[in-house]
């Protein structure tokens, strides 16, 4: 049986180069909001609600900020946190 000497990541990066989910969310939140707006624009029912993009997505930056915080500072199971 052959042993694996280097971790496989599929792109040549070592395991130490992998970002956390929180870091990726923080870094990519702007592009995710743009993608979300594009998907909303493609949905006739949702886009029928007349809102500009800024109003439609104004809640998302805070949502991502809270999500990143919860991922970086998890609370023990059973302890209730502040509502989102």
Greater model confidence, 53 or 47: 53
The residue among 24, 53, 51, 55 whose CA lies nearest residue 38 is: 53
- Asked if residue 2 has pLDDT above 70, the reply is no
List CB contacts of 59: < 8 A, sequence separation 6 or more.
none
Q: Which two tokens stand for residue 66?
A: 């809270």
Greater model confidence, 40 or 77: 40
- Asked if residue 21 has pLDDT above 90, the reply is yes
CA pair distance 45, 47, nearest whole angstrom: 6
Helix runs in the chain, H state only = 21-42, 44-47, 53-56, 60-72
């Amino acid at each position: 049986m052959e042993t694996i000497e280097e971790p496989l990541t599929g792109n040549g990066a070592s395991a130490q180069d992998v970002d956390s989910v929180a870091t990726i969310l923080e870094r990519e939140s702007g592009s995710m909001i743009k993608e979300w707006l594009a998907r909303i624009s493609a949905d006739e029912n949702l886009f029928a609600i007349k809102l500009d993009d800024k109003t439609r997505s104004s809640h998302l930056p805070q949502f991502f900020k809270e999500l990143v915080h919860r991922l970086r500072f998890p609370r023990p199971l059973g302890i209730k946190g502040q509502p989102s």
